[in-house]
Amino acid sequence: MKKIIIGAYMLIVAAVACTPKASPSATDAVIPEAASVSSDQATVDAGHTIFTTKCTKCHGAKDKAVASKSYEELRPVLASMSKKAKLSKEEIQQVSAYVYANAKK
Ligand code: HEC
């Protein structure tokens, strides 16, 4: 009986810990609008590093996909990809800067 109670408790803890929160948190990917993307070279370079490391865990570097789409088209893609790659807010700013610099103009 004790085991069942402990098991049930663990389940509840896991369920609570894994439920997405409604309020904005650090993991909520908010991709900056074109007007507020950084064009600072150091930020773009940092974004390139993330793009070729953290973003290549599931697929190769998506250079072609980025070059063939406008930044506005890529924003929703970036939002879901940043979540997949579990990027921090700062990393999101950097990857966005890299993608913006290389997207179709
Ligand atoms: C957890 C796995 C995973 C991670 C991490 C990931 N992606 Fe993806 N990505 C996918 C899948 C799955 C697809 C769709 C299949 C494909 O195109 O390979 C995709 C597709 C894409 C596409 C093509 C979308 C289109 O419309 O053609 C782009 C661009 C992209 N990812 C960029 C990124 C960037 C940038 C990052 C890092 C922030 C990233 N991905 C991280 C899984 C991932």
For the chain, domain boundaries = 26-102
Nearest CA owner, ligand 1 atom 42 = 58
Distance 9 CA to ligand 1 centre (A): 36
Q: Using one digit for the tens of pLDDT, what is the confidence trace for 5-51? A: 555 656 655 665 655 544 444 445 689 999 999 999 999 999 999 99
**Best of 51, 54, 55, 80 to mutate for ligand 1, by most ligand atoms within 8 A of CB?**
55
Using the mean position of ligand 1's atoms as its centre, give its distance from the Cα of residue 88 in Å: 17
Q: What's 30-88 look like in SS3?
A: CCCCHHHCCCCHHHHHHHHHHHHHHHHCCCCCCHHHHHCCEHHHHHHHHHHHHHHCCCC
Q: Report the predicted TM-score, pTM, of the whole model to 2 decimal places.
A: 0.80
